[in-house]
Amino acid sequence: MKVNCDNCNEDFEIKAKTKMKRIEGENIEIAKFKCPECGEQYQSVLGNQKIKEMNNKVKSLIERGKDLTLTIDERDKIVKEIRGLRSKIRKEHNRIKELVG
């Protein structure tokens, strides 16, 4: 994935190194990378076990929603559940971003 450096405005491909960091009893996956031109460092919070489980549930629901025999009401229920999970994922991601700093 190409990104643009905030410091020198250079476009570059991310070569991230990921690691697990234990913060307040939680394992949080973090990616770090730097601009090859100026050396500006970046850090991105990827997630935790809770986010991983919710993402897996979303994928499962998407697959279930592909069933052509579902009624409109059943599909609507799946869509509503996916939206709820995505909202929870955003909230959890924001929470762990605060922990990481």
Q: What is the pLDDT of residues 54-85, one digit of tens each?
A: 999 999 999 999 999 999 999 999 999 999 99
End-to-end CA distance of the chain: 24
Model confidence, pTM: 0.79
Q: If you average pLDDT over residues 5-15, what whole number do you get?
A: 95
* Domain range enclosing 40: 2-100
- Residue 14 · residue 41 · CB < 8 Å: no
Report residue 28 as tokens.
């949080």
The mean pLDDT of the chain is 95
How many domains is the chain partitioned into structurally? 1
> What are the residue ranges of helices labelled H in the chain?
49-65, 72-100
- For 18-41, give one letter per residue: b (16+ CB within 10 A) or e: eeeeeeeeeebbbeebbbeeeeee
